[in-house]
């Protein structure tokens, strides 16, 4: 099954990259084996067996995952990394030079901002943050040194939506690379490359892996020149996904479509429940009609995912007391697993973002982020009910 196969998403999620091998001596496994070997023997000096030499450069289990991920994002090429941040770092190292300027969304994952502000800025990269929900703000920030635009939609934790098509028209006009972090919706609900993005990046730790048991990242793209540069740097710096982790991720992906349908159904029901609760100030979920970009969100996706945020009335102490009373929701960072997770961004995921910046973009001290899992929704609502009471 090639990455450009016309099969539907769920079929590709199960089969792409894992076609049984019927060659002489092969065993026809329907699940790709975990190839733990770090090195691969060859018969002749100049002929690596099957193209395999050393696992950092190429590994059969990782390659199966890369093929599957590429097919799901409608990409020609895919690379699997040891974490989302390893994937992000490798993109930046591969495509930029000191002195280059990046325009980035002001509501990015906290770790991405830390990488930009405290790591890459030390190497002479300059970053300007803008409110990318208004595409014209992206264009206004472009300078002669700008090389790349980096967005995340829906964003984290405020679930702001930016218009991928409109921003890609701007990046094409100015000859810039558009990177979209597609972690929150996964390719099941959103395909940024089809909307004009040049590169999709994922933390596959989240929905793609889906079971909170494997860290990983991915880069998917169609541009062969960028692919070769990123692949070269991935091997050179060594930020690859291990064979066992590749297998776990492959296994997780097989139920991506099923899981996301249930995440979304539960999230919408919880969003409606919270919206009418007297102790809740406001609920932010792109699937709600009250979301300021509900129409855009619906237009550029096939679903709105399982993450929502809400503000509880009162102080940070009230928010913390509520969180401590929950039984089913785990008070934990991260998102995208089958289990429901809940957290306080100002003190947890976004604690590394300066308070002035948090206040400016709306990450208040009572903002709570929920990654709605796939449990029975009546149990989740009952848990919220008793903790709010
Ligand atoms: C978690 C996350 C990352 C970082 O990925 P790791 O796998 O934790 O390195 C990047 N972007 C988003 C949106 C994330 O949620």
pLDDT tens digits, 33-51: 999 999 999 999 999 999 9
155 in ligand 1 pocket by Cβ < 6 Å? Answer: no
In a domain, 355, yes or no: yes
Lowest mean pLDDT among 129-143, 232-246, 348-362: 348-362
- Ligand 1 centroid – CA 58 distance (Å): 24
Average pLDDT of the segment spanning 132-152: 98
In a domain, 164, yes or no: yes
65: tokens are 């995952």
Name the DSSP class of 130: E
Residues 274, 325 within the same domain: yes
Percent of the chain whose predicted confidence (pLDDT) is above 90: 92
On the 0-12 / 13-18 / 19+ scale of CB atoms within 10 A, 320 is: middle
Residue in 106, 163, 181, 198 annotated catalytic: 181
| 309, 372 Cβ separation under 8 angstroms | no
Cα gap 344→299, rounded to integer Å? 30
Residues 107, 237 within the same domain: yes
Cα gap 87→240, rounded to integer Å? 9
83 in ligand 1 pocket by Cβ < 6 Å? Answer: yes
186 in ligand 1 pocket by Cβ < 6 Å? Answer: no
Q: What is the CATH number of the domain that holds 380?
A: 3.90.1150.10
In a domain, 2, yes or no: no
Cα gap 193→74, rounded to integer Å? 7
Residues 117, 194 within the same domain: yes
Residue in 206, 259, 358, 369 annotated catalytic: 206
Of 370, 302, 296, which Cα lies nearest the Cα of 10? 302
Residues 219, 340 within the same domain: no
In a domain, 359, yes or no: yes
266 in ligand 1 pocket by Cβ < 6 Å? Answer: no
Residues 240, 335 within the same domain: no
91: tokens are 């993109």
Residues 261, 247 within the same domain: no
How many Cβ atoms from other residues are within 10 Å of residue 338's Cβ? Answer: 15
Cα gap 188→261, rounded to integer Å? 9
In a domain, 246, yes or no: yes
DSSP 58-122: --HHHHHHHHHHHHHTT-SEEEEESSHHHHHHHHHHHH--TT-EEEEESS--HHHHHIIIIIGGG
pLDDT band at 1 (very low <50, low <70, confident <90, very high): low
For residue 180, the model assigns a pLDDT of 98
165 is catalytic: no
Of 384, 389, 388, which Cα lies nearest the Cα of 372? 384
How many Cβ atoms from other residues are within 10 Å of residue 379's Cβ? Answer: 12
- Tens digits of residue pLDDT in 337-364: 999 999 999 999 888 778 898 888 889 9
Helix (H) / strand (E) element for 381: namely: helix 377-388
Pocket test for ligand 1, best of 81, 82, 85 (most atoms within 8 A of CB): 85
Residues 25, 102 within the same domain: yes
Residues 40, 170 within the same domain: yes
For residue 2, the model assigns a pLDDT of 54
Pocket test for ligand 1, best of 81, 91, 206 (most atoms within 8 A of CB): 206
Host domain of residue 269: 256-388
| 204, 218 Cβ separation under 8 angstroms | yes
349 in ligand 1 pocket by Cβ < 6 Å? Answer: no
For residue 4, the model assigns a pLDDT of 54
Given 209, 234, 253, which residue is the final one in a domain? 253
Given the CA of residue 184, which atom of ligand 1 is nearest to it? 13
For residue 318, the model assigns a pLDDT of 96
- Count of H-run helices and E-run strands, the chain: 14, 12
pLDDT averaged over every residue in the chain:
96
Which residue has its alpha carbon closest to ligand 1 atom 1? 203
Q: Which residues contact 108 (CB under 8 A, 6 or more apart)?
A: 116, 129, 150, 152, 155, 156, 181
Residue in 7, 56, 254, 298 annotated catalytic: 56
- Ligand 1 centroid – CA 84 distance (Å): 5
Residue in 52, 109, 226, 247 annotated catalytic: 109
Name the DSSP class of 39: B
206 is catalytic: yes
For residue 349, the model assigns a pLDDT of 85
For residue 219, the model assigns a pLDDT of 98
Give the three-state DSSP class for 368: strand
Q: What does the CA dihedral 366, 369, 370, 371 come to, rounded to 10 degrees?
A: -170
- Ligand 1 centroid – CA 90 distance (Å): 14
Q: Which position has the higher pLDDT, 4 or 278?
A: 278
- Ligand 1 centroid – CA 233 distance (Å): 20
Residues 249, 261 within the same domain: no
6: tokens are 């016309």
109 is catalytic: yes
In a domain, 3, yes or no: no
Residues 199, 341 within the same domain: no
Cα gap 372→283, rounded to integer Å? 14
| 77, 227 Cβ separation under 8 angstroms | yes
How many domains does the chain fold into?
2
Of 329, 360, 357, 356, which Cα lies nearest the Cα of 344? 329
Helices (H), 193-333: 224-237, 243-253, 256-275, 294-300, 316-325
Cα gap 96→133, rounded to integer Å? 25
In a domain, 173, yes or no: yes
Which residue has its alpha carbon closest to ligand 1 atom 4? 84
Average pLDDT of the segment spanning 190-211: 98
Given the CA of residue 86, which atom of ligand 1 is nearest to it? 9
386: tokens are 């008793």
Average pLDDT of the segment spanning 143-164: 96
358 is catalytic: no
Residues 230, 272 within the same domain: no
In a domain, 303, yes or no: yes
Residues 203, 64 within the same domain: yes
Q: What is the CATH number of the domain that holds 160?
A: 3.40.640.10
């Amino acid at each position: 099954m090639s990455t450009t196969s016309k099969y539907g998403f769920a079929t590709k999620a199960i089969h792409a990259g894992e076609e049984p091998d019927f060659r002489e001596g092969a065993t026809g496994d329907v699940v790709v084996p975990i190839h733990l070997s770090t090195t691969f023997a060859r018969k002749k000096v100049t002929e690596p067996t099957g193209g395999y030499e050393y696992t950092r450069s190429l590994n059969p289990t990782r390659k199966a995952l890369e093929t599957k991920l590429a097919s799901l994002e409608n990409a020609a090429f895919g690379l699997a990394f040891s974490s989302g941040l390893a994937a992000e770092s490798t993109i930046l190292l591969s495509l930029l030079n000191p002195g280059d300027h990046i325009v980035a969304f002001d509501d990015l994952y906290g770790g991405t901002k830390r990488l930009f502000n405290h790591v890459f800025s030390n190497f002479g990269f300059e970053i300007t943050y803008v409110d990318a929900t208004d595409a014209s703000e992206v264009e206004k920030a472009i300078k002669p040194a700008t090389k790349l635009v980096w967005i995340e939609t829906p964003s984290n934790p405020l679930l702001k939506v930016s218009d991928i098509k409109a921003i890609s028209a701007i990046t094409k006009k100015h000859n810039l690379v558009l990177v979209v972090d597609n972690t929150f919706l996964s390719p099941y609900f959103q395909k940024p490359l089809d909307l004009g993005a040049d590169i999709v990046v994922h933390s596959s730790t989240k929905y793609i892996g889906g079971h909170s048991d494997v860290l990983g990242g991915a880069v998917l793209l169609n541009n062969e020149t960028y692919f070769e540069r990123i692949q070269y740097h991935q091997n050179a710096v060594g930020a690859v996904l291990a064979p066992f982790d590749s297998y776990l991720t492959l296994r997780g992906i097989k139920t991506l479509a099923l899981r996301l349908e249930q995440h979304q159904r539960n999230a919408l029901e919880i969003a409606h429940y919270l919206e009418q609760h007297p102790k809740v100030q406001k609920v932010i979920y792109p699937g709600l009609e009250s979301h300021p970009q509900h129409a855009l969100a619906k237009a550029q996706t096939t679903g709105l995912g399982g993450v929502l945020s809400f503000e509880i009335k009162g102080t940070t102490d009230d928010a913390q007391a509520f969180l401590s009373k929950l039984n089913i929701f785990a008070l934990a960072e991260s998102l995208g697993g089958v289990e429901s997770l809940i957290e306080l961004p100002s003190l947890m995921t976004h604690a590394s973002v300066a308070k002035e910046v948090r206040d400016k973009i709306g990450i208040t001290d009572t903002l709570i982020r929920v990654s709605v899992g796939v449990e029975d929704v009546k149990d989740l609502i009952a848990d919220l009910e008793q903790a709010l009471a």
